Amino acid sequence: MRSPGPTVHVVGLGPAGPELVTAEAADLLRGPGPARLRTGRHPAATAFAGVATFDEHYEQATTFEEVYETIVDELVALARSAGSVVYAVPGSPMVAERTVVLLGRHPAVVDGGVSLVVHPAVSFVDLACARLGVDPVTAGLHLVDATAFATAAAGLTGPLLVAQCYARDVLSEVKLAAEPPPGTSVTVLHHLGLPDEQVYEVAWADLDRGVVPDHLTSLWVPELAAPVAAELVALDELVHVLRERCPWDRRQTHGSLARHLLEEAHEALEAIDELAGIDERAAHGTPAADLPAAGAPSEAGAVAALEEELGDVLFQVFLHAAIAAEAGRFELADVARGVHDKLVARHPHVFGPEAGQVTEPGALAADWEVRKLAEKQRTSVTDGVPRALPSLAVVAKLLHKAATVGIDEPGAAELAGRLADAPRAVLGAAEPAGPLGELLFDAVALANVVGVDAETTLRDRARRFRAEIRRREGVLDPPGDEPAPGGVDTAEETAPAQ
């Protein structure tokens, strides 16, 4: 098929020897016009010995992307000067062929000055499925590039056909990108369709040791039990890029980031309060007239705000993990694995021999404390209460801890009586701090008894008081704060423009 005007005809050499090259592709390559092979390193290339290759670019360029861009530019130029050019690629032009993608995006092709015609060909996928006895549609096959396995396979459980397994360091990246159960194996597909074809299994742990790969090697992964999350992998990669290239992020330490983590946590709490308030009003069927005035976040706005604030907290976690990894202390995977294993150990009623047994929340809380004492080698249940917590939160936590060792809170009536008498005791005291502390303590205890979080309640009261002050001032919208790189506030330092 010939097209009017400058044209690049792309054909495939198939996945193996010359016998799998289509008759149309062979005719085009042997035609009167110019033709090029992307590489002569292919079993079918021997049938077209007189056709020039682009192999010299692989020796001159520093990256594959540079090679591919150079090839595309030369093809477009040749099509313009000669009227048309036939370009042959290994396998099929439409399966894992970067140069064809770049050709389709080239300005000369996009503007219509040069036509691009892609001719069908047999791909390595056809041979692989034939050898494995797999219908790709029925099996739900996913084709994955080994050079980007961590992100390309993220969220997928299989089956996966992994292409571009041309070197051991690529196989190492594949192996490290997932942590399947011990004993997991994969099938190596090597030189399919050639006399030295090999199809064999290898243990996942030996992937980069038990295989001698080349450009005709691929993998069949029937199942990955623990898929990688693409978005989390991408965020981890971004954090490492920021640590390398952004002056602000590069100079951060665990110590310098401490206040940012605290600020982000408080902003997340504020977003949680906003959404929780909306949910509570909806649950109680609050009339529309009693809903917040104009300017208050809608449910969609509150959801978006919480999503954003949780992302900022997550960024802090990833950044601390990256700093620790640079020092050789631990990595993000260690953090995730540690909390996973800890939660499994602390939930025997879910994962252990007690799984399925109904357990009262109170008994679970007491058992939780016992497990933490042993796990952390603590001498007291109070050892796990952070001293940096706000005072109301400290009291609430201590009251809960006390209940696990048999110290019960007074009843609601007794606490209410104490609180009624407390103001006179405070006003009549020479040193009011003591009676006032008792009053505040009893207020938190009463909140616990009636099932209310004192810290959240007081923060909500402060929020309403803030809103009242702003209404008196005639201020409708909250003031905007300029975010620092990564979504943190930099009141104390100037961050570079991003």
- The pLDDT tens digits of the residues spanning 385-402 come to 777 677 888 778 788 777
Among 200, 228, 256, residue at a domain's last position: 228
Q: What is the pLDDT of residues 464-485, one digit of tens each?
A: 888 888 888 887 655 433 333 4
Q: What is the pLDDT of residues 86-99, one digit of tens each?
A: 999 999 999 989 99
Q: Is the pLDDT reported for residue 55 higher than 80?
A: yes
> Tell me, what CATH number does 175's domain have?
3.30.950.10
Same domain for 91 and 141? Answer: no
Comparing 83-87, 314-318, 419-423, the range with the smallest average pLDDT is 419-423
239 domain-assigned: no
Q: What are phi and psi of 183, to 5 degrees?
A: 95, -5
Q: What is the pLDDT of residues 20-49, one digit of tens each?
A: 999 999 999 999 999 999 999 999 999 999
**Closest C-alpha to 313, from 267, 280, 354:** 267
477 domain-assigned: no
Same domain for 85 and 40? Answer: yes
- Helix axis angle, 299-326 to 332-345, nearest 10°: 110
Q: Are 44 and 16 in contact (CB under 8 A)?
A: yes
Contacts of 15 (CB under 8 A, 6+ apart): 90, 91, 122, 123, 124, 126, 127, 192, 193, 216
Render the burial of 86-102: b for 16+ CB within 10 Å, e for the rest.
Answer: bbbbbbbbbbbbbbbeb
Identify the pLDDT of residue 366. 60
Q: What is the pLDDT of residues 102-140, one digit of tens each?
A: 999 999 999 889 999 999 999 999 999 999 999 999 999
28 domain-assigned: yes
- Which domain covers residue 184, as residue numbers? 126-228
Count how many domains the chain has: 2
CA–CA separation, 202 vs 209, rounded Å?
A: 10
Same domain for 35 and 47? Answer: yes
309 domain-assigned: no
Q: Which residue has the higher pLDDT, 224 or 331?
A: 331
Same domain for 137 and 215? Answer: yes
Angular region, 4: left φ>0, alpha ψ -120 to 50, beta rest: beta
Identify the pLDDT of residue 1. 47
Identify the pLDDT of residue 170. 92
Among 195, 213, 228, residue at a domain's last position: 228
Same domain for 52 and 74? Answer: yes
What's the whole-number mean pLDDT along residues 360-371?
Answer: 62
Q: How far is CA 337 from CA 235, 340, 349, in A?
A: 18, 5, 20
Q: What percent of the chain has pLDDT over 90?
A: 45
Same domain for 117 and 20? Answer: yes
Q: Are 31 and 86 in contact (CB under 8 A)?
A: yes
117 domain-assigned: yes
Same domain for 86 and 135? Answer: no
Q: 370 is written with which tokens?
A: 């016992």
Q: What percent of the chain has pLDDT over 70?
A: 85
Identify the pLDDT of residue 369. 58
Q: What are phi and psi of 285, to 5 degrees?
A: 65, 40
Angle, vertex CA 442, rays to CA 426 and CA 450, nearest 5:
145
Q: Please give the radius of gyration of the chain, using alpha carbons only, rounded to the nearest integer.
A: 33
> Tell me, what CATH number does 26's domain have?
3.40.1010.10
**Model pTM score:** 0.52
Identify the pLDDT of residue 109. 92
Same domain for 114 and 130? Answer: no
Same domain for 40 and 145? Answer: no
What's the whole-number mean pLDDT along residues 71-95?
Answer: 95
Among 96, 122, 148, residue at a domain's last position: 122
88 domain-assigned: yes
Same domain for 220 and 117? Answer: no
96 domain-assigned: yes
Angle, vertex CA 222, rays to CA 221 and CA 224, nearest 5:
75
What's the whole-number mean pLDDT along residues 189-202?
Answer: 94
Tracing tokens 């929780």 back to the chain, one arrives at 276
Comparing 166-175, 240-249, 376-385, the range with the smallest average pLDDT is 376-385
What's the whole-number mean pLDDT along residues 255-271?
Answer: 90
CA–CA separation, 358 vs 490, rounded Å?
A: 49
Same domain for 104 and 170? Answer: no
Identify the pLDDT of residue 408. 76
